Amino acid sequence: MKSERLHINEIFYSIQGESTHAGRPCVFVRLTGCNLRCKWCDTEYAFYDGRRMSIAEVAEIVVNYRCDLVEVTGGEPLLQEGVYPLMGTLLDTGKTVMIETSGASDVSKLDARIIKIMDLKCPGSGECERNLWSNLEHLGARDEIKLVIADRADYEWARDTIRARELAARVNAVLLSPVHGQLDPALLAAWILEDRLPARMQLQMHKQIWGADTRGV
């Protein structure tokens, strides 16, 4: 029995709303705490709220949902050391494990079986300086890079970064999301098409289904 405890914000079962896995039933384990403060953050409730749980408790709740796909998210899940044994336990139960991380924390120690969905922060987030570029060397064919776009300046930064760092060749998908309620998705779509950008546009499916302010979905 592993003894590490984790600060957990919420655990819930829903439809995966993002990535190439969008639409799949998924269990979400949201860890408390983040070292960034993106201007458009939609999970500020995860900065502090939560409770201490053992890895065994978390794993039991996840397993009881009887769902093959699990996403570990936050906040920033890599800030807690216990996330590593938690993900190891979940992998050992046969789950497909994804992690969503800000791109500011080192991903090199993650088990190769974990699907990494890694953000690159654009200037409009206010946290662009925190991108840990060495992380790109630790991404592979199953992983995905996500860029959240607030405006035209963000788009141009994303476009130039995708091209200069050949992001599409590194990962399964490069995902571009408009900031919900801030950037018209039709504009972003037009920019991607005009530039023939090797990227995959996405909208947050859970917000389309349940609305932007509903928690636990």
- Residues forming contacts to ligand SF4 in the complex (CB under 6 A) are 34, 36-38, 41, 43, 74-76, 102
Smallest distance from the beta carbon of 172 to ligand SF4, in angstroms? 21
- Cβ 216 vs Cβ 22: under 8 Å: no
Instruction: Indicate the helix (H) or strand (E) that contains 70.
Output: strand 69-73
Smallest distance from the beta carbon of 74 to ligand SF4, in angstroms? 5
Residue nearer to ligand SF4 on the CB measure, 96 or 102? 102
Residue nearer to ligand SF4 on the CB measure, 20 or 43? 43
Spatial distance between the Cα atoms of 81 and 63, rounded to a whole number of angstroms: 21
Smallest distance from the beta carbon of 39 to ligand SF4, in angstroms? 9
Residue nearer to ligand SF4 on the CB measure, 39 or 152? 39
Instruction: Name the token pair of 32.
Output: 């408390």
Residue nearer to ligand SF4 on the CB measure, 198 or 207? 207
Residue nearer to ligand SF4 on the CB measure, 46 or 136? 46
Smallest distance from the beta carbon of 60 to ligand SF4, in angstroms? 26
Residue nearer to ligand SF4 on the CB measure, 17 or 75? 75
Smallest distance from the beta carbon of 187 to ligand SF4, in angstroms? 21
Cβ within 8 Å of residue 174, ≥6 positions away: 144, 145, 147, 162, 167, 168, 198, 199, 200
Q: Are strands 25-31 and 5-15 parallel, antiparallel or unpaired?
A: antiparallel
Beta strand spans in 76-203 (E): 96-101, 115-119, 144-149, 173-178, 200-201
- Cβ 42 vs Cβ 70: under 8 Å: no
Smallest distance from the beta carbon of 161 to ligand SF4, in angstroms? 17
Q: Are strands 144-149 and 115-119 parallel, antiparallel or unpaired?
A: parallel
Spatial distance between the Cα atoms of 184 and 144, rounded to a whole number of angstroms: 23
Spatial distance between the Cα atoms of 189 and 112, rounded to a whole number of angstroms: 33
